[in-house]
């Protein structure tokens, strides 16, 4: 079965640089979520999109932005990177049926040096 | 504000033991609860999802129960194996405006030794 695809899997950037993370949801899933997991931390919700519109927003810094495109893939753009942005970034997708079960991608490990 | 707590934070058991992982949440108005497994530095694998109207779910050696009124869930692992060693996370969701997000606990780090 198709799963959530994230690219790249690993990314190394320097402070103040910009990074773009991509997420391809499971086919026919209409909702995409982004989560950030810092070292030794639990995942924290950043932002979500339903049918290409932002549906909810969590603790996402103003330096970050995201969007969902017509083909339902989503991109998380991070500017002015800081050392504290080093984390695993997960994308999840779901279909708004009765369960709302979220399926997670393998994550992108971002290292800011 | 929803808070999710998992006890114990870490657990080390010999192979073959049955064990229970605990998860509690402060706001009982949840939509569903998911249990995940995470290997070090890896992604999240969904193990079981329990909708708020359900009491338990089973998959193989895993059984998860939910008591929404008391804000508790347990994950029971039968006949533990070294391959079960991982961090187990529980997460709850609440539907708001038709959309949901997961609130995670800090996880239980499980080590099963031969």
Torsion sign across C-alpha atoms B58, B64, B62, B79:
negative
pLDDT tens profile B52-96 = 889 999 999 999 999 999 999 999 999 999 999 999 999 999 876
Given a contact cutoff of 8 angstroms between Cβ atoms, the answer to whether A21 and A109 are in contact is no
What the block records as the tokens of B88 is: 């187990």
Q: Per CB distance under 8 Å, which residues of B are interface residues toward A? A: 31-32, 34, 36, 41-46, 49, 51, 89, 91, 93, 95-107
Handedness of CA A3, B72, A98, A36 (dihedral sign): negative
Q: Which residues of A touch B104 (CB under 8 A)?
A: 42-44
Q: Cα distance from A34 to chain B (closest Cα, Å)?
A: 10
Give the model confidence (pLDDT) of A33-75 as tens digits: 999 999 989 999 999 998 889 888 898 999 999 999 999 999 9
| pLDDT of res. B97 | 59
- Express each pLDDT in B35-53 by its tens digit: 999 998 888 999 999 988 8
């Amino acid at each position: 079965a198709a799963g959530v695809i994230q690219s790249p899997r690993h990314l190394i950037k320097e402070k103040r640089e910009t990074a773009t993370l991509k997420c391809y949801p499971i086919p026919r899933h209409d909702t995409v979520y982004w989560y950030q997991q810092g070292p030794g931390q639990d995942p924290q919700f950043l932002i979500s999109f339903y049918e290409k519109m932002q549906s909810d927003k969590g603790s996402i810094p103003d330096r970050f932005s995201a969007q969902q495109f017509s083909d339902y893939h989503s991109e998380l753009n991070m500017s002015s990177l800081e050392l504290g942005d080093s984390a695993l970034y997960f994308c999840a997708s779901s279909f708004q049926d009765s369960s709302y079960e979220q399926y997670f991608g393998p994550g992108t490990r971002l290292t800011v040096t | 504000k929803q808070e999710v707590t998992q006890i114990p934070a870490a657990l080390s058991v010999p192979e073959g033991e049955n064990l229970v992982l605990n998860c509690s949440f402060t706001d009982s108005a949840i939509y569903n609860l998911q249990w995940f497994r995470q290997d070090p530095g890896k992604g999240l694998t969904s193990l079981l999802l329990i909708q708020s109207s359900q009491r338990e779910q089973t998959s193989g050696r895993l059984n998860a129960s939910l008591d929404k009124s008391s804000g508790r869930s347990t994950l029971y692992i039968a006949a533990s194996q070294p391959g079960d060693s991982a961090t187990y996370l529980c997460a709850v969701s609440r539907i708001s405006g038709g959309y949901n997000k997961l609130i995670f606990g800090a996880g239980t780090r499980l080590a099963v030794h031969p």
